[in-house]
Structure 1
Amino acid sequence: MPLPAVFPELSALDLFRSVVDLGSLSRAAEAHRITQPSASSRIRTLESQLGIVVLERSPTGSVPTPDGQLVANLAGALLRAADDLAAGVASIRAHQSGLLRIAASYTVAEYVLPPWLEQFLAERPADSVTLDVTNSRAVLDRVESGSVDLGFVESPTLPATVDEQVVGGDEMVTVVSGRHAWARTGTVDLTTLCATPLVLRERGSGTRDALEHELTRLGRPMPPSALDLGSISAVRIAVINGSSPTVISRLAVATDLASGALVEIDVPGLRIERRFRAVWPRRTDLTRLAGELLDYLPVTR
């Protein structure tokens, strides 16, 4: 059955859904990276095409009209189908091409994957890899949506929607700058650590999740945050130049520990060992390159 001659654009429906979800035209415009006047124009065009008013505008925000709420509900299924179509087409292209799309958490992307990928691609000069570096929660979102072929995470727990292969591991250590008072003794008890503000990764990071997971297992509270930062490198620099400790990947601070820029602090009773895992959608056929990379990587129990 052909579509009507005048049919609203998917991008306009997507913008409208964002206004409904966010409660503000300006916030929706920001999320879609367009100006507010452009967003207003698109909504007016959408209303003209539909023949109904979909939003009630006021100085405090925008809310859907009753008819607009019905449109938003109906548009949700259409937009999800469009996302599925886009992911499916991208997957078809990836199967046919020599492109491997990877998303990896910061620790894995910065300290583990580069030598593996360099050696892997050296044997496949016609193939290529794109690497999206983000936190573990966002990696899992990309894997589940099909926007990448393979993910690498350091989270202690995984959803039931993915399969996994352990490809390595790491230990997390408590560190301070060489000027910190703890550096003189080299040790601190767990109660003191849990009461001390730390430089932390942002929520959704595998590093932060691993610390929270272990402290919960021990029945201890999560330390307060002195500063939340979006990358391992930013955490390192903040601790080296500041006055707060952190709990971080040993891989990430090996050079700093060797140079004395950071000092490892022993915390009796706290030991955090974690596994790096490759993840992909459960019951999904891997692309050629994703399967070859998994076969190439070490398998760790």
Structure 2
Amino acid sequence: MPARRLPDIAALEVVVAVGRLGSMGAAARDLGLSQQAVSSRVRAVEHELGVEIFIRSPAGVEPTENGRLVLEWANALVERAAEFVAGVDTLIGNRHATLVVAASMTVAEYLVPGWLTTLTSRTGARISVRPMNSAEVIETVRSGDADLGFVESPGETADLDAALVATDELYVVAAPGHRWSRTGSVSADELASTPLIQREPGSGTRITYEKALSELGLVAADPLIELRSVTAIRSSVLTSNGVTVLSRLSIADDIAAGRLVRIDVDGLSMVRPLRAVWTSHITVRGPARELLDVALASTT
């Protein structure tokens, strides 16, 4: 059987907007399109996939049972497409960058964009941001391939200088249908023995979680799945009724909207520092100093 053709990303963006806003008209206004164009693109995606995504009514639209899954997957695909475009822009920027920044995934996705907006409004510096896990950030800065790094893992930063720029907390979260979501809590012993959807080894999130358990004399079970991005983990949890550990920065909206449920774990503390790192005995100057100052000022 021939492979199913991938729907047009622009059309999927329209479908996601309709699902988020609850009506064709609201999506049309949000996207700057006619309502007819929005309706046409939604029908085209439904026809191409062979799945009815929405139930239409005078009051708006409501996702079907299958439609909810399609919307989750479509949202993840649209986000990945945006990351692809940003990545290509970064590659192009690398050719002329005056400041190369290595940043752990959570920092890169949820803090760096705001810092860069402030910085670029003040200077004309060209900046290249390279998202990676915390262990990779340390190696990249140590090797001289980045001028400044941001990590989210606890513990020593080897032979690098460091400055605290913020604090973060990890939450254990589950899909609403998971059995832990009904009670809202679980013991540390049961958590440790449960395979979770997790980041890869070297990730600050993974390191923090395993360190917090070790302080209670516990060892984390091997992961159910390992994924390298917050977006992929979130999507996997939602579609598989799973459990994970993620930064509050990345899931605050999901918790508020009821898409994810925070699970309390008695005695488990997962507060962690977010730090800037750079080569020891080197004075941070120019755009790197300006970015560091912006990051430090944002938490004071």
TM-score interval, smaller chain: 0.5 to 0.7
Given that 1:143 and 1:281 are in contact with CA atoms closer than 8 Å, whether structure 2 keeps it comes out as yes
Change over 3 Å in CA distance of 1:134–1:222 after alignment to 2? same
Q: Give the conservation status (yes or no) of the 8 Å contact 2:101–2:130.
A: yes
Question: Which residue in 2 is equivalent to 1:175?
Answer: 173
Matched, 1:99 2:89: no
Residue 118 of structure 2 corresponds to residue 156 of structure 1: no
Letter in 2 for 1:149: D
State the shift of 1:98 in Å: 7.3
Instruction: Give the equivalent residue in structure 1 for 2:240.
Output: 242
> 1:195-215 CA distances to partner (integer Å, 9 max, x unpaired)?
111001000100000111111
- Which whole-Å CA distance do the structure 1 matches of 2:294 and 2:97 have between them? 16
Please point out which of 211, 215, 218 is paired with 1:217: 215
Q: What is the DSSP-based 3-state SS (H/G/I as helix, E as strand, rest coil) of the residue aligned with 1:179?
A: coil
1:26-45 correspondence runs (5 A):
none
- Residues 21-66 of structure 1: CA deviation (Å, up to 9, x unaligned): xxxxxxxxxxxxxxxxxxxxxxxxxxxxxxxxxxxxxxxxxxxxxx
Q: Which string of whole-angstrom CA distances, capped at 9 and with x for unpartnered residues, describes residues 262-292 of structure 1?
A: 1111111112101110000111232411122
Q: What is aligned with 1:291?
A: 289
Name 1:55's counterpart in structure 2. Answer: none
- In the other structure, the counterpart of 1:258 is 256
Which structure has the larger Rg over C-alpha atoms? 1
Aligned twin of 1:135:
133
Root-mean-square deviation over aligned CA pairs: 1.7
Report the number of matched residues: 205
Q: Distance in 2 between matches of 1:248 and 1:176?
A: 10
Aligned to 2:269: 271
Contact 2:134 2:202 in 1 (8 A): yes
Counterpart code for 2:99: L
In structure 2, the residue matched to 1:108 is: 107
> 1:208 is matched with which residue?
206
User: Partner letter of residue 254 of structure 1?
Assistant: A
Match of 1:195 among 189, 193, 196: 193
User: Structure 1 runs of 4+ off > 6 angstroms?
Assistant: none
Contact 1:149-1:287 at 8 Å conserved across structures? no
Q: Give matches, 1:49-60, under 5 Å.
A: none
Kept in 2: contact 1:98–1:289 (CA 8 A): no
Separation of aligned partners in 2, 1:177 and 1:266: 14
Aligned equivalents of 2:234, 2:151: Cα separation in 1:
20
Q: CA offsets per residue over residues 122-179 of structure 1, 9 Å max, x none?
A: 111x211100001111111110000110000001023331000111111101100011
Residues of 2 paired with 1:200 and 1:194: CA distance?
13
Cα distance in 2 for residues equivalent to 1:243 and 1:98: 42
Supply the distance in 2 between the matched residues of 1:180 and 1:128 (Cα, whole angstroms). Answer: 45
| Gap runs ≥5 in structure 2 | 1-93
Q: Which amino acid aligns with 1:275?
A: P
Give, in whole Å, the separation in 2 of the partners of 1:233 and 1:158.
28
Q: Which runs of 5+ in 1 are unaligned?
A: 1-93
Q: For 1:158, what is the secondary structure of its paired residue?
A: coil
Q: Give SS of 1:222's match.
A: coil
How far, CA to CA, are the matches of 2:295 and 2:255 in structure 1?
Answer: 28
Residue 26 of structure 1 corresponds to none
Instruction: Check conservation: 1:226, 1:244, Cα contact below 8 A.
Output: no
Identity across matched positions, percent: 41
The residue type paired with residue 226 of structure 2 is: D
* TM-score after normalising by structure 2: 0.65
Identify which range, 165-174 or 291-300, moves more after superposition: 291-300
SS at match of 1:114: helix
Partner Cα separation in structure 1 for residue 157 and residue 166 of structure 2: 19
Q: 1:98 to 1:176 in 2, by over 3 A?
A: closer
Q: Which position in structure 2 is the counterpart of 1:229?
A: 227
